[in-house]
């Protein structure tokens, strides 16, 4: 139990279909890539999308981390198809499991990644685990600035910042229904909307960012970490993802502020820009957490969003002495 309620078991959030339920043509493609039928299928416990994800090993010892989704899991299907485009374009220096094969069918897609030796992060995070994740992101961010031509060539760009990161603005203008906020934010919707107004300018940079960096999108090895799920990448400032990752660290009791300012991506960032990002992150998570559960998506999604929103709000309030 944290200050913000029960933590999410990030290694056990997934609700996934079994190997046997995949279409025969999907299983046949995986078997062909492995050179034999699976001797072991270890389902991934973490994740929210509902797509198939598992470590699959053949009798020969050949092994792949396999993701697959069909039209009945449209959110996962679109995400996996985008990841199949992005992963091969990631530059050297980005610590990410590499895509070994991708096969796209009319209503299904299946991906096979190198099976790295690691585990899903859990809360509470040890300082060592957090350091490994921050080091992995520092390596990735260095390789992603300036924005690599390989990613620009496949259409990665700076999409306009939409309403998802301006939810307090929506509440202040009356275009969005109010959502529950913690006591430290009560009566401050106009202040929060004013902070959010700077998000587009704050994130402007010649670099590519993951745009969804959280502990559950990483794999921890004995002495390194890998970053997964590269399906939301955009041309924006890499420090935004540092803040996103450290929201969970703050909620977990770590000194997120100190960790942010000593991270290489924070160089040149103004204090007000960090506050702008935290306002946008808090609004996103708190606003989304007020929604209904999503069919075929992990039932933990709203709890994860609420906990993360409370952590972001608390970090922002501490910084601004609210």
pLDDT tier at 15, thresholds 50, 70, 90: confident
Residue 127 CA: distances (Å) to CA of 123, 171, 255:
11, 37, 10
Percent of the chain with pLDDT over 90: 89
Reply yes or no on domain 19-114 having CATH 3.30.200.20. Answer: yes
Rounded to an integer, the average pLDDT of 248-277 is 98
Q: How many residues does the chain have?
A: 322
What pLDDT is attached to residue 5? 87
Spatial CA neighbour of 69 closest among 302, 297, 228: 297
Spatial CA neighbour of 144 closest among 216, 227, 82, 224: 227
- For residue 223, pLDDT over 70 is answered with yes
Q: What is the mean pLDDT of the chain?
A: 96
- For residue 1, pLDDT over 70 is answered with no
pLDDT tier at 74, thresholds 50, 70, 90: confident
Q: What angle do CA 134, 137, 143 make, to 5 degrees?
A: 145
Q: Is 75 exposed, middle or buried (0-12, 13-18, 19+ CB in 10 A)?
A: middle
Tokens matching residue 2: 């944290």
Other C-beta atoms closer than 10 Å to the C-beta of 94 total 23
pLDDT tier at 281, thresholds 50, 70, 90: very high
- For residue 244, pLDDT over 70 is answered with yes
- For residue 23, pLDDT over 70 is answered with yes
SS3 assignment, position 75:
helix
Over the stretch 48-68, which tens digit does the pLDDT of each residue have?
A: 888 999 999 999 999 999 999
Architecture of domain 127-320: Alpha-Beta Complex (3.90)
pLDDT tier at 154, thresholds 50, 70, 90: very high
Higher-confidence residue of 278 and 293: namely: 278
Give yes or no for a contact between 283 and 165, defined as CB atoms under 8 angstroms apart: yes
CA pseudo-torsion sign 147, 132, 279, 83: positive
What pLDDT is attached to residue 80? 96
- Lowest mean pLDDT: which of 3-12, 105-114, 165-174, 298-307? 3-12
Spatial CA neighbour of 208 closest among 244, 175, 253, 240: 240
> What is the distance between the alpha carbons of residues 91 and 30, in angstroms, rounded to a whole number?
26
- For residue 75, pLDDT over 90 is answered with no
> What is the distance between the alpha carbons of residues 114 and 63, in angstroms, rounded to a whole number?
8
Tokens matching residue 49: 């999308």
What pLDDT is attached to residue 195? 98
Domain boundaries, the chain: 19-114, 127-320
> What is the distance between the alpha carbons of residues 97 and 85, in angstroms, rounded to a whole number?
14
- Lowest mean pLDDT: which of 156-170, 185-199, 285-299? 285-299
């Amino acid at each position: 139990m944290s200050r913000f309620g029960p933590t999410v078991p990030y290694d056990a959030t997934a609700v996934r279909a079994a190997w046997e339920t995949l279409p025969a043509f999907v299983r046949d493609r995986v078997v062909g890539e492995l050179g034999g039928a699976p001797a072991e299928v270890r389902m991934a416990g973490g994740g929210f999308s509902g797509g198939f994800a598992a470590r699959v090993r053949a009798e020969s010892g050949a092994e792949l981390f396999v993701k697959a989704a069909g039209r009945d899991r449209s959110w996962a299907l679109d995400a996996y198809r985008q990841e199949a485009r992005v992963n091969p374009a990631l530059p050297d220096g980005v610590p990410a499991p590499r895509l070994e094969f991708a096969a796209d069918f009319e209503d299904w897609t299946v991906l096979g990644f190198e099976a790295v030796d690691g585990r899903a992060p859990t809360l509470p995070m040890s300082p060592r685990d957090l350091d490994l994740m921050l080091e992995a992101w520092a390596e990735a961010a260095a390789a992603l600035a300036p924005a690599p031509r390989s990613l620009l060539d496949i259409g990665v760009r700076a999409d306009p910042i939409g309403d998802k990161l301006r939810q307090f603005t929506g509440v202040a203008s009356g275009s969005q229904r109010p959502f529950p906020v913690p006591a430290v934010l009560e009566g401050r919707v106009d202040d929060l909307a004013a902070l959010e107004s700077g998000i587009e300018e704050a994130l402007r940079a010649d670099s590519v960012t993951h745009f969804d960096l959280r502990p559950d999108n990483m794999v921890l090895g004995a002495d390194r970490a890998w970053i997964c799920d590269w399906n939301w990448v955009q041309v924006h400032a890499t420090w935004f993802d540092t803040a996103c990752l450290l929201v969970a660290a703050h909620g977990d009791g770590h000194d997120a502020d100190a960790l942010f300012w000593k991270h290489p991506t924070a160089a040149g960032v103004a204090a007000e820009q960090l506050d702008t990002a935290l306002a946008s992150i808090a609004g996103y998570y708190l606003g989304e957490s007020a929604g209904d559960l999503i069919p075929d998506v992990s039932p933990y999604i709203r709890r994860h969003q609420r906990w993360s929103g409370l952590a972001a709000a608390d970090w922002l309030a501490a910084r601004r002495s609210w």
